[in-house]
């Protein structure tokens, strides 16, 4: 999101209005049978496949209905474990967490494609770069396109039918040119892309034109991005949930078991550590979370469910 | 070891005698200052780098002097963790466990080289084959040579100075042509290769000629290859140690913590499971192990230590 220009937000809003005018007046909520101003929420687990610890926690959360969606990191070593689970649970809402970085100090991976085909994504040690900034500086958009296609293809070869694609560490949004590839590939595979309204602020008109009427826009997404000292975990989530507005929202959780494996992966990393992820898991499966959602009139929806009415709606345009 | 021919053992023994005649009469034990018929033993941890669990167990065993040598799997995701440790502990005897297979069901890796450069080593899912048999059927020797060079190079790039190379699941011995590459690469890098006498039985005369007088032959190697029902772990090791003969011997251990990560890696695998590896760790660091070694007059040696006299000795030939 480096190319923000002052007029872009205005342009984006006009563009979206234009899209909206051409569509039925029905909101997504109405299409799904909810009141016009319903607060819709996807409860989404990120980073699935990263480790056994993450896989175990995510499976537990799916089975206890603590989450209703999630996305998988295909290049990670534990991908086959979660792929097997996803294949055997086609009812679940599972997408691909497109991955261009390997951010942990002692635990590494590279791309699905041979490194020689994606040299701009590979550091001198032979792995993906650790940061989105390095991806922004180095990535060749055509190589990114090839790699994200390969990640989707591998997922499908393992029996996964991705309900959506999204982006690990936002690295696919590192530059407008990469973002364009994300939209392009999503369109070609006919897979919804995670596209929060706020992302549009950074897009050029050329890229905005790629956002067609079939695109599902996420009005707001929420996650705990840094622990607030003195504020208990459940209180932070309560505040987030109370702030949710009408429209389509996504709550992003990072689940894991706080065990040796996860502690070792997240060593020397300030946020998203093993204890953090265990707290996310504990909260996701808690009665308190369910109660707060209920109290705030939140309706849970999945990528799979929202895709259907939009597909038929876009077919009318 | 598929090309065993009845006359090869005889040939090998004649060949070794010929080598021996051309050398000083001193045995390796004498060169190291031990009696001529001393029983020398390397206590060696395999599979380092495979997982965090294996790394933790191996580091604990090194620090408690339960092992005095080990070798690292460079293509594995946890390689950077152990590479950092090895770099910071240059006094340790650490080699490269050349890896051509990824044998676990849900946890996978491919080569250090781009898969497009080593297609004969990569299965249709994009990972290394699971078994040595598949390596034997598919591997192109030139690709194997490139890949094992790349594994050594990556290890050195991470600051490791390998004291020896050996072979994960014996896959480098899957065919005589691969074995030739192993000897060739070891010679070119001037790194001793793990070469037990029994391996020579399978070699052709052409390959045997590659075994020069500088080569350190391991007279016998020992490991628990299947649990003997009803025999306690320490009793199995006691029997092994009591059976050790004069000459250079290597005891191969498979160390890990019996935790969630290791249990998940070794799922659906009959041997070398998490509990097995924990028993190996417990035995390695036990007083009982030290006492059994002492009682049987075993002298512990490392690849690093035995390399020196042999290098100066081969310089005289």
Judge whether residue A98 has pLDDT over 50: yes
The nearest CA of chain B is from the CA of A180 a distance in Å of 27
Residues of chain A found within 8 Å of residue B260, distances taken between Cβ atoms: 52-53, 56, 257, 259, 261
Residues forming beta bridges with residue B96, ordered by sequence position: B72, B165
Judge whether residue A255 has pLDDT over 70: yes
Residues forming beta bridges with residue B197, ordered by sequence position: none
Q: Yes or no: say if B91 and B62 are a contact pair by the CB < 8 Å rule.
A: no
Largest distance between two CA atoms of chain B = 54
pLDDT band for A93, please (50, 70, 90 cuts): very high
- Calculate the alpha carbon distances from A190 to A113, A197, A212, A226, A255 in Å: 22, 20, 12, 34, 28
The answer to whether the Cβ–Cβ distance between A108 and B154 falls below 8 Å is no
Any A CB within 8 A of B56 CB: yes
Phi, psi of B42 (to 5 degrees): -100, 125
Torsion of CA A239, A245, A247, A249, to 10 degrees: -20
pLDDT at A15: 52
Number of neighbouring beta carbons within 10 Å of residue B81: 26
Supply the mean pLDDT for chain B.
90
- Calculate the alpha carbon distances from B311 to A286, B28, B117, B269, B314 in Å: 65, 12, 34, 41, 5
Number of neighbouring beta carbons within 10 Å of residue B49: 27
Q: Mean pLDDT over residues A159-184, rounded?
A: 95
Give the mutation candidate from B82, B123, B264 for the A interface (greatest A CB count, under 10 A). Answer: B264
In this complex, the residue of B78, B79, B260 whose CB is nearest that of residue A52 is B260
Give the mutation candidate from A146, A264, A267 for the B interface (greatest B CB count, under 10 A). Answer: A264
Judge whether residue B9 has pLDDT over 80: no
The answer to whether the Cβ–Cβ distance between A56 and B260 falls below 8 Å is yes
3-state secondary structure of A99: coil
Task: Tell me the torsion sign for CA atoms B202, B207, B213, B214.
Answer: negative
Judge whether residue A140 has pLDDT over 50: yes
pLDDT band for B19, please (50, 70, 90 cuts): low
The nearest CA of chain A is from the CA of B154 a distance in Å of 8
Angle between helices B176-189 and B141-157 (to 10 degrees): 30
Any A CB within 8 A of B260 CB: yes
The nearest CA of chain A is from the CA of B264 a distance in Å of 7
The string of pLDDT tens digits covering residues B203-252 is 778 788 888 777 889 999 999 988 788 899 999 999 999 999 999 999 99
Residues of chain B found within 8 Å of residue A56, distances taken between Cβ atoms: 260, 264
Q: Mean pLDDT over residues B170-180, rounded?
A: 92
pTM, rounded to two decimals? 0.90
Cα gap A172→A136, rounded to integer Å = 9
The nearest CA of chain A is from the CA of B124 a distance in Å of 10
Q: Mean pLDDT over residues A198-212, rounded?
A: 80
pLDDT band for A16, please (50, 70, 90 cuts): low
Residues of chain B found within 8 Å of residue A51, distances taken between Cβ atoms: 261
Phi, psi of B250 (to 5 degrees): -130, 130
Residues forming beta bridges with residue A291, ordered by sequence position: none
The nearest CA of chain A is from the CA of B275 a distance in Å of 16
In this complex, the residue of B56, B125, B157 whose CB is nearest that of residue A260 is B56
Which of A209-218, A246-255, B8-17, B66-75 is least confident? B8-17
The answer to whether the Cβ–Cβ distance between B116 and A112 falls below 8 Å is no
Judge whether residue A17 has pLDDT over 80: no
Cα gap A241→A250, rounded to integer Å = 11
In this complex, the residue of A51, A157, A260 whose CB is nearest that of residue B259 is A260
Judge whether residue A238 has pLDDT over 70: yes
A 285-304 residues with CB < 8 A to B: none
The string of pLDDT tens digits covering residues B118-134 is 999 999 999 999 999 99
User: How many CB pairs (< 8 A) connect A and B?
Assistant: 83
In this complex, the residue of A81, A106, A115 whose CB is nearest that of residue B84 is A106
Number of neighbouring beta carbons within 10 Å of residue A116: 12
Angle between helices A79-88 and A52-63 (to 10 degrees): 20
A 228-257 residues with CB < 8 A to B: 257
Number of neighbouring beta carbons within 10 Å of residue A308: 11
- Calculate the alpha carbon distances from B172 to A36, A276, B108, B120, B215 in Å: 66, 43, 19, 14, 17
Q: Mean pLDDT over residues A132-145, rounded?
A: 98
Taking the CA of residue B284 as centre, how many other CA atoms within 13 Å lie in the half-sphere pointing to its CB?
34
pLDDT at A198: 86
Angle between helices B52-63 and B274-284 (to 10 degrees): 10
pLDDT at B219: 95
The answer to whether the Cβ–Cβ distance between A106 and B78 falls below 8 Å is yes
With a pLDDT cut of 90, the percent of chain A lying above it is 78
Q: Mean pLDDT over residues A183-199, rounded?
A: 93
- Calculate the alpha carbon distances from A243 to A221, A230, A265, A287, B91 in Å: 11, 20, 33, 20, 58
The answer to whether the Cβ–Cβ distance between A126 and B154 falls below 8 Å is yes
3-state secondary structure of B47: strand
Paired tokens of B3:
């090309």
Q: Mean pLDDT over residues A4-19, rounded?
A: 48
Supply the mean pLDDT for chain A.
90
pLDDT band for B5, please (50, 70, 90 cuts): very low
Burial class (CB in 10 A: 0-12, 13-18, 19+), B280: buried
pLDDT at A313: 56
Cα gap A114→B117, rounded to integer Å = 8
The nearest CA of chain A is from the CA of B105 a distance in Å of 8
Any A CB within 8 A of B88 CB: no
pLDDT at B315: 43
pLDDT at A207: 80
Q: How does DSSP classify residue A92?
A: S
The answer to whether the Cβ–Cβ distance between B259 and A264 falls below 8 Å is no
The more confident residue out of B63 and B312 is B63
Judge whether residue B201 has pLDDT over 80: no
Residues of chain A found within 8 Å of residue B107, distances taken between Cβ atoms: 52, 77-78, 80-81
Number of neighbouring beta carbons within 10 Å of residue A136: 17
pLDDT at B227: 78
In this complex, the residue of A79, A81, A116 whose CB is nearest that of residue B117 is A116
The string of pLDDT tens digits covering residues A207-218 is 888 887 778 899
The answer to whether the Cβ–Cβ distance between A77 and B261 falls below 8 Å is no
Phi, psi of A115 (to 5 degrees): -55, -30
Largest distance between two CA atoms of chain A = 54
Any A CB within 8 A of B105 CB: yes
pLDDT band for B317, please (50, 70, 90 cuts): very low
Paired tokens of A119:
């040299």
The answer to whether the Cβ–Cβ distance between A125 and B158 falls below 8 Å is yes
The answer to whether the Cβ–Cβ distance between A81 and B116 falls below 8 Å is no
Q: Mean pLDDT over residues A104-108, rounded?
A: 98
CA B199, distance to chain mean position in Å, is: 13
Cα gap B180→B199, rounded to integer Å = 12
Cα gap A161→A156, rounded to integer Å = 6
The answer to whether the Cβ–Cβ distance between B53 and A260 falls below 8 Å is yes
ipTM of predicted complex: 0.88
In this complex, the residue of B106, B154, B257 whose CB is nearest that of residue A78 is B106
Q: DSSP H helical segments within chain B, as ranges?
A: 6-21, 28-31, 52-63, 79-88, 132-138, 141-157, 176-189, 205-208, 233-242, 260-265, 274-284, 287-295, 303-315
Judge whether residue A21 has pLDDT over 50: no
Which of A282-286, B37-41, B223-227 is least confident? B223-227
The nearest CA of chain A is from the CA of B296 a distance in Å of 37
pLDDT at A208: 81
pLDDT at A309: 66
Any B CB within 8 A of A219 CB: no
The string of pLDDT tens digits covering residues A44-88 is 999 999 999 999 999 999 999 999 999 999 999 999 999 999 999
- Calculate the alpha carbon distances from A141 to A144, A147, A174, B212 in Å: 5, 10, 11, 51
Residues of chain A found within 8 Å of residue B112, distances taken between Cβ atoms: 126
Instruction: Specify the DSSP element, H or E, that contains A60.
Output: helix A52-63
Residues of chain A found within 8 Å of residue B105, distances taken between Cβ atoms: 80
Paired tokens of B255:
């160390």
3-state secondary structure of A162: coil
């Amino acid at each position: 999101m480096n190319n923000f220009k002052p007029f872009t937000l205005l342009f984006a809003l006009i563009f979206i209005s234009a899209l909206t005018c051409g569509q039925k007046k029905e909101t997504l909520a109405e299409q799904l049978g909810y009141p016009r101003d319903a607060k819709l929420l996807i409860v989404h687990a990120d980073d699935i496949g990263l480790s056994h610890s993450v896989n175990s926690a995510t499976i537990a959360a799916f089975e206890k209905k603590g989450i209703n969606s999630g996305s998988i990191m295909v290049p990670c070593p534990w991908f086959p474990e979660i792929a097997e689970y996803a294949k055997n649970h086609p009812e679940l809402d599972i997408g691909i967490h497109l991955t261009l970085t390997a951010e942990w100090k002692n635990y590494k991976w590279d791309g699905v494609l041979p490194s020689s085909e994606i040299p701009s994504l590979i550091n001198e040690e032979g792995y993906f770069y650790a940061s989105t900034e390095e991806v922004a500086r180095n990535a060749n958009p055509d190589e990114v396109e090839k790699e994200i296609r390969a990640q989707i293809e591998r997922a499908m070869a393992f029996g996964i039918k991705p309900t959506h694609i999204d982006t690990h560490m936002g690295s696919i949004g590192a530059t407008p040119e990469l973002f364009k590839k994300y939209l392009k590939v999503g369109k070609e595979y006919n897979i919804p892309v995670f596209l929060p309204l706020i992302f549009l602020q950074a897009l050029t008109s050329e890229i905005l034109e790629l956002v067609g009427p079939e695109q599902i826009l996420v009005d707001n997404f929420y996650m705990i991005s840094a622990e607030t000292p003195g504020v208990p975990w459940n209180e932070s989530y309560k505040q987030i949930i109370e702030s949710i507005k009408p429209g389509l929202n996504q709550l992003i959780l990072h689940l894991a078991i706080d065990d040796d494996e996860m502690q070792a992966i997240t060593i020397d990393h300030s946020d998203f550590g093993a204890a953090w992820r265990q707290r996310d898991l504990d909260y996701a499966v808690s009665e308190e979370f369910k109660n707060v959602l209920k109290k705030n009139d939140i309706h849970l929806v999945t990528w799979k469910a929202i895709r259907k009415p939009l597909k038929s709606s876009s077919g009318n345009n």
